[in-house]
Amino acid sequence: MTSTPADRRERRSADEQARLEAALIELFEKRIVFNQTLGLKVTSVVPGAVRASFEMRHELIGHAGYGRLHGGVISAVLDAMGGLALMAAIGEAFPHDHTLQVMQRFMKMATIDLRVDFLRQGIGQHFTATAEPTRLGSRIGNTQMRLVSDQGVLIATGAAVYAVG
């Protein structure tokens, strides 16, 4: 029996990949209700380059005098982004699975550990969050996340560990 090199393995079709990406976005933006509260909008679900953005709103203010983001909002956004990065990575790790099979793998995901480094005040009108997986094992996944203001100011970074299986 001969083995097939990783770069020559059969991948999911472009149509199936588009269905998977649409399902990931729908899950993240609509079915995870707290993400709606945060106002998160996915702009990329490309594995290794996951990105979402949100607008500053009165409900997200944590300091009335300065009008800056609440630290809990920053933490929640980074946590959500770490999870999305792993979802995209899981989709890539199982290229033969159809969308429903990949989506079912997410049912067991849970945050185990989250570390947030608050670097600057969360001041801005619009924010962008990115995340990338640093490790994806059969049971545990790790990610690195970043939150940047509309002025390009790095507000916070995060690192997280998730149960994935």
Domain that holds residue 112: 13-163
Residue pLDDT, tens place only, 92-147? 999 989 899 999 988 889 999 999 999 999 999 999 999 999 999 999 999 999 99
- Cβ(69)–Cβ(60) below 8 Å: yes
Residue 62 falls within a domain, yes or no? yes
Q: How far is CA 74 from the centre of its chain?
A: 13
Closest C-alpha to 54, from 152, 124, 156: 124
Would 5 be classed as within a structural domain? Answer: no
Q: Does pTM top 0.95 for this prediction?
A: no
Residue 18 lies in a domain: yes
> Does residue 81 belong to any structural domain of this protein?
yes
How many folded domains does the chain comprise?
1
Specify if 7 maps to a domain: no
The CATH number of the domain holding residue 101 is 3.10.129.10
Domain membership of residue 60 (yes or no) is yes
pLDDT tens profile 23-51: 999 999 999 999 999 999 999 999 999 99
In this structure, is residue 38 part of a structural domain? yes
Would you say residue 90 lies in a domain?
yes
| Residue 5 clears pLDDT 50, i.e. is over it | no
Residues 141-161 have pLDDT tens digits of 999 999 999 999 999 999 999
| Measured CA distances, 94 to 12, 46, 48, 86, 142 (Å) | 9, 15, 15, 12, 18
Contact 143, 64 (CB under 8 A): no
pLDDT over 70 percentage in the chain: 94
